[in-house]
């Protein structure tokens, strides 16, 4: 796909988006920059399961894209999109605003995720191989 490298570059600069739910949540918070919601309502809005939504929320929060209130006595939390210095969000939204763009973005995210997994796997194999060699030499 011709657009692939462009999306890869965008995703590389964003750095963290790997799952469709990550993207959907980011787009949701773009439309609702201050949202006071329960996580099950959020999961329903983005159309994903509660566990994945929770993982994606953690990911976006850890990456600094999202700020959320920490009050265990409240069922709902206040989510505030942190947009300062994130001009890439506009590009991302432009691309994701069409079905083709969104599909391409998701494909690129999948590729990035698979490449990352395979890299992790090969790194792990190398480590195992080196460990075995060291053991046999000794």
Of 74 and 110, nearer to other proteins (C-beta) is 74
Binding residue for other proteins (CB under 8 A) from 5, 15, 33, 47? Answer: 33
Q: Which one of residues 3, 6, 32, 102 is an interface residue with other proteins (CB under 8 A)?
A: 32
Q: Largest Cα–Cα distance of the chain, in whole Å? A: 61
Write the interaction track for other proteins spanning residues 79-118; mark x where CB under 8 A is met and - where it is not: ----------------------------------------
With respect to other proteins, which residue has the nearer C-beta, 73 or 135? 73
Question: Of the two residues 73 and 136, which places its CB atom closer to other proteins in the complex?
Answer: 73
* 57 vs 67: CA distance, rounded Å: 10
For 28-89, give the secondary structure using H, E and C: HHHHCCEEEECHHHHHHHHCCCHHHHHHHHHHHHHCCCEEECCCCCCCCEEEEECCCCCCHH
Rounded Cα–Cα distance for residues 133 and 127 (Å)? 10
**Residue 37 touches other proteins, criterion: CB under 8 A:** yes
**Cβ-based nearer residue to other proteins, 74 or 133:** 74
Q: Is 77 in the site for other proteins (CB under 8 A)?
A: yes
Enter the tokens of residue 93.
Answer: 């939204």
By CB under 8 A, is residue 46 in contact with other proteins?
A: no
């Amino acid at each position: 796909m011709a657009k692939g490298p462009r999306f890869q570059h965008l995703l590389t600069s964003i750095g963290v988006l790997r799952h469709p739910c990550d993207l959907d949540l980011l787009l949701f918070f773009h439309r609702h920059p201050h949202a006071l919601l329960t996580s099950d309502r959020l999961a329903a809005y983005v159309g994903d399961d509660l566990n994945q939504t929770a993982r994606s929320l953690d990911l976006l929060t850890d990456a600094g894209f999202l700020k959320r209130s920490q009050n265990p006595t409240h069922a709902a939390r206040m989510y505030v999109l942190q947009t300062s210095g994130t001009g890439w969000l506009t590009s991302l939204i432009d691309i994701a605003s069409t079905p083709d763009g969104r599909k391409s973005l998701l494909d690129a995210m999948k590729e990035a995720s698979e490449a990352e997994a395979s890299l992790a796997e090969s790194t792990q194999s190398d480590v195992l191989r080196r460990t075995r060699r060291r053991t046999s030499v000794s």
